[in-house]
Structure 1
Amino acid sequence: MMEEARNYILALFSVPIAALTVYSLLRLTRNFTYKNQRARAVRTSLIILIASGGLYGMHWLGKQSQSGLKQAEGSLFISLALYALTLLALTYLFSKLRQILTEREQLKELAYRDTLTGLLNKNGMDHFWDHCKPNEQLAVLFLDLDRFKSINDRLGHHVGDLLLQAVGGSLKQFSSKGKRHIFRNGGDEFVIVAKRCGRKEAEQLAMQILEQTTRIYSLERHELFVSVSIGITLSHGRIDPMTLLKEADSAMYSAKQLGKGRYTIHKQGNTLKSVNWAGSSKAN
């Protein structure tokens, strides 16, 4: 009974050795062709060493588990061949699993990305709210392009799409992994959600966005001056996505009514502060 238990434990130990060997081989062969000659030589040496070590380890465990039995002639070759086949089978299974996971991530990325601008879309925004901490400090900036409808109607949807791509490209520089998330809300509306962001930092971010996006865009044969209106709101206590978006949207419309090309902050009690790109402010 003890001998059977020992053999069983030794057989179990060979499984993680095989898995670790296969995982290491897959990691080393990843993007192998894109490496320079020296890196490929180093990786090739490591691949040989790891594969040899994995085969030897599996063989040693197999030999230990069969130490009480008489080894048949040629058993070394047979056992090594079986171990090699095991590694090949595991390599194939791991590579297929990695391919499936990669395809899954690509489909997920497509579902969460806006095809026109490459920014996160409404699905991405819903995913963000679903995984947001309930009491996290957030600043929500609601952006809308000024005079976009007239440009789109006058010059056509193709030029309008080019303008959205250009503005989306300018906004990408303000993205920060784990801290700032940028979404295209639809049409010419964009939303930026900044984590751990207070009022002062939110205003600085709005001014930077105005400086980068308020300019002349050269699109095909057209020179178009475009500005952005921004509404800002800050979370207070438990996060309510619908309320935050509604407040930021309302502040953005106030910015448009006060002259466009500016940001307006929503405050409790419907008190608003508006600041244009030049820096002058107006409160009401």
Structure 2
Amino acid sequence: MEEARNYMLTILSLLIGVVTVYSAYRLTRNFSRQQQRTRAVCSSLVVLVISAGLGGMHLLGRRSLSGSAPEDGSLFMALALYLLTLAGILYLFLRLRQLLGEREQLKELAYRDTLTGLLNKNGMDHFWDHCKASEQLAVLYLDLNRFKSINDTLGHHTGDLLLEAVGTSLQQFTRKGKRHIFRVGGDEFVIIAKRCSRKEAEQLALKVLEYITRNYKLEAQELFVSASVGITMSQGRLNPKRLLQEADTAMYNAKQLGSGRYAVYKQESHVPPVKLVSSSRAQ
């Protein structure tokens, strides 16, 4: 009778372990895609679920042990099964953490450009999916001047070295939770700044251009490279496709006026949209 009771308690303990692991898995599913507040709530719930599961297993194990007489073999069996259950839940929990870690690494690789280390188009899609509909944004579209010529005359290896150097330069303008930088094409980059006014966006464009427009030493080559930047501001409800098109249009407007310049997109055609970088940089 005692053996049957111990078996029942052990099976119940195992069920608690399985439910605990499954609940922790469900709570941490798509963890990286959730908002910061949601992640904090889920983390607290995971701690509570695991604590409750281990606590329940511990109580069942103690009951199983207390009902076993020291002179028969049921005490040893109850103790072995209790320890085996704890080892199983610990193994499952550690394995779950390992799988979640590997999944986060795969997501990071999927969202990052391998050449520059910046976010890629997948990362941009992820950004738009988690951006508030009423978020105030400044979108800056950056394009390197003469990049195709450099690629054609000096080869793709030199072009890749240049892109890598530019990506490293742009990394310093990243601000966690506020400013994100993406490589969206061969030599095209997009900077999205949250809670950014037009004046701040223009100041950012100036800083980026002044830092990007310079001589680059790429192995045996030394190249002077400049860029052009187009700026647009979000107005009301976000429309990612429209914002990118507007910033791209403004960038081509800046490119037509020479190198090392930026332009602000405006719907009113009679308003001059162009702002200039210092002439020493534009030459």
TM-score range, shorter chain: 0.7 to 0.9
Partner of 1:41: none
Equivalent pair of 1:182/1:192 in contact (CA under 8 Å): yes
Distance 1:116 1:59 in 2: 51
Going from structure 1 to structure 2, the CA distance change for 1:279 and 1:236 (only over 3 Å counts) comes to: farther
Q: Alpha-carbon deviation of 1:88? A: 1.8
Residue 186 of structure 1 aligns to a residue whose secondary structure is coil
Equivalent pair of 2:137/2:192 in contact (CA under 8 Å): yes
- Deviations for 1:65-115, whole angstroms, at most 9, x for unmatched residues? 675x45243655544433322222122212222222222222222222212
Partner of 2:209: 210
Residue 181 of structure 1 aligns to a residue whose secondary structure is strand
- Deviations for 1:161-185, whole angstroms, at most 9, x for unmatched residues? 1000000111111111211111111
Number of aligned positions between the proteins: 239
What TM-score does the superposition give when structure 1 sets the normalisation length? Answer: 0.74
Counterpart residue identity of residue 87, structure 2 = L
1:34-53 to structure 2, matched below 5 A, reads none
Going from structure 1 to structure 2, the CA distance change for 1:70 and 1:231 (only over 3 Å counts) comes to: closer
Going from structure 1 to structure 2, the CA distance change for 1:148 and 1:56 (only over 3 Å counts) comes to: closer
Moved over 6 A (4+): 54-57
Determine if the alignment matches structure 1 residue 166 to structure 2 residue 165: yes
User: Where in structure 1 are there 5+ consecutive unaligned residues?
Assistant: 24-53
Q: Alpha-carbon deviation of 1:62? A: 3.1
Counterpart residue identity of residue 276, structure 1 = L
What TM-score does the superposition give when structure 2 sets the normalisation length? Answer: 0.74
Partner of 1:255: 254
Distance 2:68 2:77 in 1: 15
Residue 207 of structure 1 aligns to a residue whose secondary structure is helix
Partner of 2:151: 152
Equivalent pair of 1:152/1:159 in contact (CA under 8 Å): yes
Going from structure 1 to structure 2, the CA distance change for 1:100 and 1:70 (only over 3 Å counts) comes to: closer
Distance 1:214 1:248 in 2: 20
Determine if the alignment matches structure 1 residue 71 to structure 2 residue 73: no
Going from structure 1 to structure 2, the CA distance change for 1:111 and 1:55 (only over 3 Å counts) comes to: closer
Q: Alpha-carbon deviation of 1:196? A: 0.9
Determine if the alignment matches structure 1 residue 177 to structure 2 residue 176: yes
User: Where in structure 2 are there 5+ consecutive unaligned residues?
Assistant: 25-52
Partner of 1:275: 275
Using the aligned pairs only, state the percent identity: 66
Partner of 2:227: 228
